Structure 1
């Protein structure tokens, strides 16, 4: 089998087609195995290469993947962003779960506390009803008393009862003569019941009085404590007011002394100012005091009493000289303005002439470019006709293009 495989690889399909029949007959005669483990491995390798070739064809013949490829960096970045987003969502979910657990614990604690408070209130209400709102303490208990008939007086207390007349149907001939004794026993029993009720009522009254006394003592103690706190607050406020009063008095005395000192100082300053003003150089009109230390011709404004005739004459001559100088300066400025206007006008005329010359050159350049473009269009048209009529006469058939892209090698 190995020799046969080598011959097939060396001589190709022609040798295989010629010798296959003879070899099969020989194998059948010698009872050889047609396929071995090595043949199966080679067949698996061939199938694998075929599958890889098909995958390669799909990848290469896909123009989008062949031209653009796969952006692995973008895919990796998207994967990282997705992982980061999922981790952030998981972290947020954990935070919400922890917060929900805390809220549930708080809610359970509050519910438990509410249940305990409700139970305590119900116990207090039941205790109050049991101790202070008993049925036997009600005003209409005698109407709803189940032992009312037992406690009530009998219709007839004796055989000679005046309340039982002929129509009362309470006294008959042949009655039991032990009725009086039985009535006495009944009265004793009723008396015992009444004594028991009185004792119970008295015990209830004593218990209620004790509770009221304890409540009054608690209220009295609270009132006494409130009075003590109020008295302490009043004493503290009183001491604070006294301290503020002493401080305010000290401040008032200090301000009064400061005011007296200020008035005294102002009075002394006024007297000194009046004396200085009366003996000043302004009222005495001393001309020497207006001389300034900054120069021989400088004067002090607030001590200056006016110019002399000589100084007035000098000032007038200086003013006339300034007027003449101003007239000359204005004439010079007018002459310079006229010259500048003449220069501006000449410059504008020169610029206008240059703009006209530039526009003329631009028009000539546009005309030459248009002529050149027209010639180029004619030449391009002639070249296109030459290519269509001479060069590209033989158009390829579809079979020419079908022979490409048949293999990846």
Structure 2
């Protein structure tokens, strides 16, 4: 985009330069000073009086058009100007042809550059397609290797799981659980500090003493839970009363604020009414005392009645 912008700027400058050259050429050809209306005075053209034909004695002080020494070397100067104009036009034409050649050369280089860019883009697309194919091939090989590895791992896991299941079945068949041995459910401690513990896989149920202890502990927990619920209920009641009191205070504050706002608006209305009465009295004074001589339609219709 920067290159295109620079090229557009260069083309715009070239167009401006060509327009300026064409303007100079047009002025040199069609707007010469010797073709002007007063050329008969300055260049002795269009039937103007010649130095040799004018009798200076017949001309008065206000009619003098030709003076002594005027027009000396005029023909050489005109010839020099014509040659100078031809050289200038020739140089401008050569410069324009040179600019056109340079412009064509630049366009040719730009076209070659675009062709090279297209070829480079095609090559890059081909390389990208090859890279994509190679990446897809490598990914396919990697996925196949991962699938084979996963299948081998699953096979090993299945074999290990089947072995564990067979060992568990064998242990259950030969254990004391199926033989219903009550002594196998309790394991004595190895030391004096270690209490006997129950083996879950051999346990056959609790005794009546254990069940009574569990029921008693559950009743105590229910009583504690009920007392805690009563304390929470009392706390919620107190909190509700406190919130109710806060709400009542807030309502009272809002009522007082509304009353203050109502009083303020009443005072403001009274003040506005007083201002309105004063403004009305002032307007009446202006209309009745100051602005008594109002202009009529006839006063305004007397202006802008002529073209001047």
Q: TM over 0.5, yes or no? A: no
Pick the structure with greater CA Rg.
1
User: Which gives a bigger RCO, structure 1 or 2 (Cα 8 Å, sep 6+)?
Assistant: 1
TM-score, structure 2 length as denominator? 0.36
TM-score (norm 1): 0.28
